[in-house]
Structure 1
């Protein structure tokens, strides 16, 4: 089984590739609705915009994870012998392409042309509903314009709050996922330490047993003397083996 199978980079890469495909699909739908409907009154457009924003934020989060893995490998090349310069460059190219795709999607959502269309639709929507309050005189029309302007500002504020809440929700999910990963890693390290302590205790008990037997055999309780005898015995055995097989 190849090292790539166990490499988390490829797991996140596959997930990100799928998310970028979904971003591109929704981006096409967003662009289609942007120029075909009045965005100020179309619920379909607003839903697509919210969904596209969520997908872009999700893709950006995964991309940042990949960027961190590349930086980590770049700082400690010796710990990743299976990742050569060519492989690292291929990873950088993928990340660069993904970053360009996300930047392009954000430009589609909030670029200058999009803002101009949104402003024009908002103005058209207000114009279409201007007579709803029965305004006849200039003063009444001014009051009506003020009401519509206030409504437009309120809608803009509410929309911004919705987007901020969605961003916060995404950040909370990301922090929660990171906390779970940290907890899992800490548990793994704790288990390793417990196992090591158990092995050390077992080894210590065996050593004490051996030293006790040697003490009885050699009629001494001097630990240093016993250790010296053990070391010399091992050296003698090694020398005999060298003489026999040398």
Structure 2
């Protein structure tokens, strides 16, 4: 019996090679001028689908290795070197998958930052240009109070606003990138489901065609059996008639009748051979 780990490992190696080829094609598409966004999006969706499959298979392999390590007595055919080799395989492939995932996430985040950077910059400039309510209150207090507190109250509170906006922009961009990846994965799953439904529809059509052909063949065989039954009935009647004549002729001792019986016997066997054929 073949080890399931070897089967999944072969699938992981094949999928990882496929993901590397997709990553290279996606990077080349992004470097082309002008950039064809539809092609880049399609390649990115295929790459994300491969990464999702890789991560799922690697998690299954990791769980299998952990199960072997916890119950070594149940797997006497595996020595420590085999277990360590499997652990190394899972670790190396997880590292390669994470590297591709980081490249995709970085590009997606940068792309979404580029679309929102201008809007956030304009919003920040508007906040910096307009006086805040706290600054207005402090300036009023400094005018009403003595000149000793004027320098302390004149400090604008907007100084701490820019870092907070930067953190908010980065957090929003990261969330948007994750949502975009999930949306792409959902689109890939929908397309895969559509393909599976098309395959199922084709299989149903083929089964329908086979059923109709079987029905036609059964109808034809039914007609042939009916014709064979009619021929057998006719031959039976003929043989009964010949049998009666032979019995009548057997009662007499005329030599001519015996010749006739012999001739009728030959005719009988001839008819029998005809029916059998």
Larger radius of gyration: 2
Of structures 1 and 2, the one with the larger relative CO (CA 8 A, separation 6+) is: 1
TM-score (norm 1): 0.47
